């Protein structure tokens, strides 16, 4: 008899696709039957602004409660939406291979950022995106928008699915890829133009910490975990934690592990008006062993690499703080 595993998910299109992929992966990696359980979060149930509900944690908390109360065995989160603090009783047991973490412009008529006319209206709800857009193009009108991916795409002129009142929106390329909407992308931004959010494009697969390490579920999760992604995301999130900044902070970070075993992290903190920014980068040499699937089989090497990734994030954050990042971006207010 295969072990039954219940995987909890929110009901949004993005959450359902993400969870579906992880469910398929788990079922293919071990002797498991995976069942999906829909969890309604306060963020889905209540109306009103995100701020009045207490921020993005509202989406995460209900899934975590369902895990802790045993209503499901696995929860899948977008890593960039997860608070950096540890959740007691829970473990991120797998970080699957990351999608392209970069941000994407979805503009009318195939336009790129450079091609948008002065005064063009560009929608985003993220202070990080708004600040970097203003830095690149001070002449644009950055418009604060909310809603799921489809709602946002519907705001672009020429869209038949919404009001089309904007010239462009900026979204994570990863979400568009998962939803099969890459045809809307007109430009993908490298980190030196518009650095992504820490954790963007990656998923976190969370379970109760007392999961049986000898069981089929734990075996599948170990196989699903992708070392280069886990280490990159650890560095990015350690940076965010050290800056004491929240997910609403104008902070971008991009880390990647090279084939040479060198983990490189670049980060930017931008003044909300885009008129000033601080950028730093650093590297850490990690154990250059990983098998072809990117799995870490040696526990000691794995632990020391994770510590080195966290230290890299803290080091870059300290350099930014020493240069005045907290004051520049009013980081305390972003929490
Ligand atoms: N905050 C919303 C959110 N959380 C995760 C994604 C999708 C991409 C990802 O996995 O990072 C998005 C949408 C977006 O920013 O465009």
Q: How far is the CA of 294 from the centre of ligand 1 (A)?
A: 24
Best CATH choice for the domain 103-188 from the list 3.40.50.720, 3.60.20.10, 3.30.365.10, 3.40.190.10: 3.40.190.10
Say if 1-96+202-224 and 226-335 have the same CATH topology. Answer: no
Which ligand 1 atom is the nearest neighbour of the CA of 170?
16
Give the residue-averaged pLDDT of 127-145: 97
Identified catalytic residue from 81, 100, 165, 318: 81
The CATH number of the domain covering residues in 226-335: 3.30.160.40
Residue 129: both structure tokens together = 């995106």
Ligand 1 contact via 123 beta carbon (within 6 Å): no
Ligand 1 contact via 18 beta carbon (within 6 Å): no
Atom 9 in ligand 1: residue holding the nearest Cα:
201
pLDDT at 297: 61
User: Which residue has better confidence, 57 or 10?
Assistant: 10
pTM of the model: 0.92
pLDDT at 40: 77
Ligand 1 contact via 173 beta carbon (within 6 Å): no
pLDDT at 53: 45
Atom 6 in ligand 1: residue holding the nearest Cα:
175
Q: How far is the CA of 82 from the centre of ligand 1 (A)?
A: 11
Q: Using 50, 70 and 90 to split pLDDT, how confident is the model at 245?
A: confident
Contact assessment for residue 244 and residue 124, using Cβ atoms and an 8 Å cutoff = no
Distance CA 228, CA 261 (A): 9
298 part of the active site: no
Mutation test of ligand 1: which of 172, 201, 248 has the most ligand atoms closer than 8 Å to its C-beta? Answer: 172
Atom 10 in ligand 1: residue holding the nearest Cα:
201
Ligand 1 contact via 237 beta carbon (within 6 Å): no
Distance CA 212, CA 23 (A): 19
Atom 8 in ligand 1: residue holding the nearest Cα:
175
pLDDT tens-place string over residues 41-93? 665 555 544 444 445 577 799 999 999 999 999 999 999 999 999 999 999 99
Provide CB contacts within 8 A for 15, sequence distance 6+: 9, 76
Ligand 1 contact via 129 beta carbon (within 6 Å): no
Atom 15 in ligand 1: residue holding the nearest Cα:
172
User: Which residue has better confidence, 5 or 53?
Assistant: 5
pLDDT tens-place string over residues 150-184? 999 999 999 988 899 999 999 999 999 999 999 99
Which ligand 1 atom is the nearest neighbour of the CA of 247?
1
CATH number 3.40.190.10 given to 1-96+202-224:
yes
- Spans of all domains in the chain: 1-96+202-224, 103-188, 226-335
Model confidence at 293: pLDDT above 50: yes
Ligand 1 contact via 81 beta carbon (within 6 Å): yes
pLDDT at 54: 46
Distance CA 114, CA 105 (A): 11
Exposure string for 284-319, b = 16+ CB within 10 A, e = fewer: bebeeebeeeeebeeeebbeebbebbbebbbbbbee
Strands (E), 108-213: 121-124, 141-144, 168-172, 187-188, 203-208
pLDDT tens-place string over residues 29-44? 999 999 999 997 665 5
Kindly report the CA angle at 96 between 9 and 43, in degrees rounded to 5? 30
């Amino acid at each position: 008899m295969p072990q039954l595993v219940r995987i909890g998910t929110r009901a949004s299109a993005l959450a359902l696709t993400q969870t579906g992929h992880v469910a398929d992966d788990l079922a293919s990696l071990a002797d498991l039957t995976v069942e999906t359980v829909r969890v309604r979060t306060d963020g889905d149930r209540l109306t009103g602004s995100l701020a009045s509900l207490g921020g993005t944690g509202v989406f995460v908390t209900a899934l975590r409660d369902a895990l802790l109360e045993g209503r499901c065995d696995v929860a899948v989160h977008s890593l960039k939406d997860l608070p950096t603090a540890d959740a007691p009783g829970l473990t991120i047991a797998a970080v699957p291979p990351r999608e392209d973490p970069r941000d994407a412009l979805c503009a009318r008529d195939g336009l790129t950022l450079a091609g948008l006319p002065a005064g063009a209206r560009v929608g985003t709800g993220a202070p990080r995106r708004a600040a970097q857009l203003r830095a690149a193009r001070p002449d644009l009108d950055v418009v604060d928008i909310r809603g799921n991916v489809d709602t946002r795409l519907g705001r672009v002129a020429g869209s038949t699915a919404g009001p089309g009142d904007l010239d462009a929106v900026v979204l994570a390329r990863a979400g568009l890829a998962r939803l099969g909407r890459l045809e809307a992308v007109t430009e993908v931004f490298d980190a030196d133009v518009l650095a992504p959010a820490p954790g963007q494009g990656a998923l976190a697969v969370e379970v109760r910490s007392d999961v049986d390490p000898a069981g089929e579920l734990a075996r599948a999760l170990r196989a699903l975990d992708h070392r280069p992604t886990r280490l990159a995301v650890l560095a990015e999130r350690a940076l965010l934690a050290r800056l004491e900044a929240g997910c609403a902070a104008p902070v971008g970070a991009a880390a990647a592990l090279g084939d040479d075993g060198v983990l490189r992290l670049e980060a930017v903190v931008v003044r909300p008006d885009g008129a000033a920014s601080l950028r730093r980068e650093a590297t850490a040499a990690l154990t250059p062993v990983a098998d072809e699937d990117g799995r870490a089989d040696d526990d000691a090497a794995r632990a020391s690499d994770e510590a080195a990734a966290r230290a890299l994030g803290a080091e870059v954050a300290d350099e930014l703080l020493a240069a005045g990042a907290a004051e520049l971006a009013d980081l305390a207010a972003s929490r």
